[in-house]
Structure 1
Amino acid sequence: MNETIILQSVITCPGCGYKKKETMPTDACQYFYRCEECKVILKPLAGDCCVFCSYGTVKCPPIQMSKPCCT
């Protein structure tokens, strides 16, 4: 079965509300993300593997494929 993986996600900063479309890495988790607007460093929420799973509109590629992520 050929699954389509979405690589674009819009991250929303929980501090200032700034949104930016980003391309997710397919070979690593992104644990830190710096907001371009307020400069705060985002980290994943408890139970999430990366910033895209916590603050993005789309979960990271490994989670989309139901695979372990960054373990």
Structure 2
Amino acid sequence: MSGAILISVITCPVCGHRKEETMPTNACVWLYECEHCNTVLRPRRGDCCVYCSYGTNKCPSMQCGSCSGG
């Protein structure tokens, strides 16, 4: 995962709350709870994880081309 950007800002599509998160390098994140409105985010159809759907940067797996996608 060298060269992958590990920081992403997730934006909740329901309330617009933004939070900077460090993405894991060993797994895709399929569920993420917004700390502001408690909405549980899931990846959009065709995306492998919530970072690919709602983050400012794609997940490390997608950045490095090793993710199979949704």
Asked if Structure 1 and Structure 2 have the same fold, meaning a TM-score greater than 0.5 normalized by the shorter chain, the answer is yes
Residue 56, structure 1, aligned to residue 26, structure 2 = no
- Displacement over 4 Å in runs of 4+: none
Q: How far does residue 67 in structure 1 lie from its aligned partner after superposition?
A: 1.3
Query: 1:40-55 alignment to 2 at 5 Å?
Result: 40-55=39-54
* Same amino acid, percent of matched pairs: 55
State the superposition RMSD in angstroms. 1.8
Separation in structure 2 between the aligned mates of residue 27 and residue 12 of structure 1, nearest angstrom: 22
* TM-score (normalizing by structure 2): 0.92
Larger radius of gyration: 1
Q: How far does residue 70 in structure 1 lie from its aligned partner after superposition?
A: 6.8
Q: Is the 8 A contact 1:32 1:43 kept in 2?
A: yes
* TM-score (normalizing by structure 1): 0.91
Paired position in structure 1 for 2:65: 66
Separation in structure 2 between the aligned mates of residue 5 and residue 12 of structure 1, nearest angstrom: 20
Q: Is the 8 A contact 1:53 1:59 kept in 2?
A: yes
Of the structure 1 ranges 16-25 and 60-69, higher mean CA displacement relative to structure 2 is found in 60-69
Gaps of 5+ in 1: none
Gaps of 5+ in 2: none
Paired position in structure 2 for 1:17: 16
